[in-house]
Amino acid sequence: MDDIEDDTTIFSTLKSFKSLISCPDRSLLETEPAYGRSDLQKLYTKRVELEEAAERVRSHTSLLQLTQEKQQMELSHKRARIELEKEAHSSSRDLQREIDRNRELLMKIRRLEEREGKANQALNEQMENNKALKRDLEELHKKANEKDSKLAEADQMISELKDETRRLSQQIQIQESKFSTQNLEIQALQEQLDVQRKKFQDISQRYQNLQSSHSTSTESELKMKELERRLALQEQDAVIVKNMKSEVTRLPELEREMKRLREENSFLRETKENSSLLKEETEGLRRKLERMERVMEEKLKVELEKEKLERELQAWENIGQATGLNIRKPEDLSREVIQIQQRELSLKQQNYTLNSSVRSVEKARAELLPEIAQLRSKAQEEQKKRENQDSLVRRLQKRVLLLTKERDGMRAILESYDSELATSEYSPQLTLRVKEAEDMLHKVQTHNTDMETQLFKAQEEAGTFKLQAQMVTAELEALKEQQTSNAEKTTLATAEEISSLRQKIEELEAERQRLEEQNNILEMRLERHNLQGDYDPVKTKVIHLQMNPTSIAKQQRSEEVEQLRVECQRLRERLRKIEASGGMTTDDTTLIIPPSQEILDLRKQMESAELKNQRLKEVFQKKIQEFRTACYVLTGYQIDITVENQYRLTSVYAEHMEDSLLFKSTGPVGSGSMQLLETDFSRTLTGLVDLHLFHQKSIPVFLSAVTIELFSRQTVT
């Protein structure tokens, strides 16, 4: 049991030892890789970020020049070298540190190994103990073998652990190398990062510069545009100035043309007057000409009439010669005419008597005519009768003939029958035949008689018709004769009637045609009016709805017009008000700005200034008048300025109104140097002029001398 307990303690100590060995190794391994691993992660992330930043920066800095870069690169190279040295130093330091750490680790491992050795020694001791103990127990041997085996296993484990430690140490070395390389890389990247940062700064600076330059460039562009615009405006102005110049050059020409046109105008006006006068004259002359022509025509006519009358007179005078009635004067002619008239009267009387005899004869004739007609009719009747008788006779004769023929025939038949009777006895048949023949005969005879009666009747009728016809013809002939006799009497009357009737007929025909045409025209008009919409007020009427679109539209229109009128009125009143308040009288009120206070003040000022002006003028006028009268009274001369720089002096004592002296101002204005000009009056004062002006050269003395002279002249005379 103790062995077991001992074994258990041994095992537990082994376990703890193993754990001890493994733990530090693990911890070492863990720390170092952990340390290495976290660092690596951070580095990696940093690297990614840096790469991204670098990409960004590279995109910004694509424009940079190569030389600068190269320089910078060189600089950076130098710097890098310096830094590399620094880094090398630092890395060497780190390396030393690492080496120290390694040494420490190795030391630890050695310690651990020493511990292991110690543990081995302990183990050996234990084994010895075990061997010592083996003797005690054979069972323990086995256990010890087992333990040995276990120990062997433990040894294996230990060797493995050793291997592991070696491996781990190798790994540590590898890791350390990696770490170093990565540190180097890190340093390089850091350098690059610094370089990039500097580049970035440079580039940002340059970007700012660019922006500023951009802004300046835009400003300059704007200025340029403005200048261009101004230039364009100036060009336009130049063009306008050119046009104006051209127009101005044309101005004198236009003035010349105007003068010419004015002259032409005046000339035309003169000629117009002349032409109007001439026109009046021509009209007068034309009228005269017309009158003369008319007079000429009348003269011609009168001459023709005269000739006619002469001819007539000649004819009248020749009548006497032509008729051979010894006519020399109209009285003879009248005598002849009277004679002829008397003859005519006598002849007319004869005519009337003859006419009356003719009428009586005709009456007798007319009475005789119907008698004749009657006799004729009687004669015709007699003739008719005779003809009838003749026809009767003929018929009777024919009848007789027929009868005789019948009788002969009958006789012959009888004889034949009698002859035949002797030969044979056909008496019944014969009697029958005889009867038949007799019947036939009767029939024929009756037929004959009928026919004859018919014929007779027809003939009678024909005869009566013939009689009638003949009577009618006789009457017609009588009437015709009457008509002709009547017509002989009244030929004139019937002819007149016929002609009048014909005329009437023609007139009626014409009127009918006219009326027909009128009718057609009226029908057409009516048709047209119907088309246009006319109607007969008696039969039809026209209605429509009261509220129809036309009336509604008209209403709306009138309302619109009213509204517009009202608005117009309102606007006019407003306009009037504005004009009254403003006081502006412009023809087309384009802008009616209500007059501001300034304008009103200015207007008032203007008015006051004008008033002042007016007053000043009046005052000046008065004063000058006073001064002039004072001068006149005191000096005795009235001084007038007729022309610029010329002064006319008229003396109080002048004998005539026109006596005046003329002085002209010479030299600069206001100097007072005067010269006397020649006038009629001054020629009379030559002595004084010589004395006072030429010799004494004093105008006031001269003037006073003249006054004295005139005064003396006046008082003396």
Residues forming the site for other proteins (CB under 8 A): 528, 530-535, 537-554, 557
The answer to whether the CB of 174 falls within 8 A of the CB of 33 is no
User: Which of residues 526 and 641 has its CB atom nearest to other proteins in the complex?
Assistant: 526
Which of 182, 184, 183, 186 has the alpha carbon at shortest distance from 46?
186
Q: How far, in Å, CA of 32 to CA of 27, rounded?
A: 8
The answer to whether the CB of 165 falls within 8 A of the CB of 109 is yes
Q: How far is the CB of 559 from other proteins (least distance, A)?
A: 12
User: Which of residues 543 and 669 has its CB atom nearest to other proteins in the complex?
Assistant: 543
Tokens of residue 216, six digits: 């300046």
User: Which of residues 540 and 715 has its CB atom nearest to other proteins in the complex?
Assistant: 540
**DSSP symbol at 637:** E
Q: How far is the CB of 571 from other proteins (least distance, A)?
A: 23
Q: How far is the CB of 552 from other proteins (least distance, A)?
A: 8
User: Which of residues 495 and 526 has its CB atom nearest to other proteins in the complex?
Assistant: 526
Q: How far is the CB of 262 from other proteins (least distance, A)?
A: 46
User: Which of residues 545 and 634 has its CB atom nearest to other proteins in the complex?
Assistant: 545
DSSP states of 212-280 as a string? HHHHHHHHHHHHHHHHHHHHHHHHHHHHHHHHHHHHHHHHHHHHHHHHHHHHHHHHHHHHHHHHHHHHH
User: Which of residues 153 and 534 has its CB atom nearest to other proteins in the complex?
Assistant: 534
Q: How far, in Å, CA of 642 to CA of 659, rounded?
A: 15
Q: How far, in Å, CA of 246 to CA of 239, rounded?
A: 11
In the block, which residue shows the tokens 């008033």? 611
User: Which of residues 326 and 540 has its CB atom nearest to other proteins in the complex?
Assistant: 540
What is the Rg, in whole angstroms, of the alpha carbon atoms belonging to the chain? 91
Q: How far is the CB of 527 from other proteins (least distance, A)?
A: 10
State whether the Cα torsion 300-305-306-311 is positive or negative: positive
Q: How far is the CB of 529 from other proteins (least distance, A)?
A: 9
Q: How far is the CB of 535 from other proteins (least distance, A)?
A: 6
Tokens of residue 550, six digits: 């036309």
- Report which residue type is found at 542: V
User: Which of residues 550 and 671 has its CB atom nearest to other proteins in the complex?
Assistant: 550
Q: How far is the CB of 548 from other proteins (least distance, A)?
A: 5
- What's the number of CA atoms in the CB half-sphere (13 Å) around residue 269? 5
Q: How far is the CB of 569 from other proteins (least distance, A)?
A: 22
User: What is the b/e burial string over 575-602, where b = at least 16 CB atoms within 10 angstroms of the residue's CB?
Assistant: eeeeeeebeeeeeeeeeeeeeeeeeeee
Rounded to 10 deg, the angle between the 138-319 and 66-134 helix axes is: 150
User: Which of residues 540 and 717 has its CB atom nearest to other proteins in the complex?
Assistant: 540
Q: How far is the CB of 297 from other proteins (least distance, A)?
A: 48
Which of 684, 672, 619, 609 has the alpha carbon at shortest distance from 645?
672
The answer to whether the CB of 708 falls within 8 A of the CB of 635 is no
User: Which of residues 529 and 570 has its CB atom nearest to other proteins in the complex?
Assistant: 529
State whether the Cα torsion 483-489-492-496 is positive or negative: negative
User: Which of residues 241 and 568 has its CB atom nearest to other proteins in the complex?
Assistant: 568
Q: How far is the CB of 570 from other proteins (least distance, A)?
A: 24
User: Which of residues 541 and 695 has its CB atom nearest to other proteins in the complex?
Assistant: 541
Which of 382, 393, 359, 552 has the alpha carbon at shortest distance from 470?
382
User: Which of residues 546 and 715 has its CB atom nearest to other proteins in the complex?
Assistant: 546
Q: How far is the CB of 523 from other proteins (least distance, A)?
A: 16
Q: How far, in Å, CA of 649 to CA of 660, rounded?
A: 5
E-strand ranges in 354-422 read: none
Please, which residues have CB within 8 angstroms of residue 324's CB and are 6 or more apart in sequence?
Answer: none
Tokens of residue 248, six digits: 């101005």
Q: How far is the CB of 555 from other proteins (least distance, A)?
A: 10
DSSP states of 547-611 as a string? S-HHHHHHHHHHHHHHHHHHHHHHHHHHHHHHHHHH----SS-S--PPP-HHHHHHHHHHHHHHH
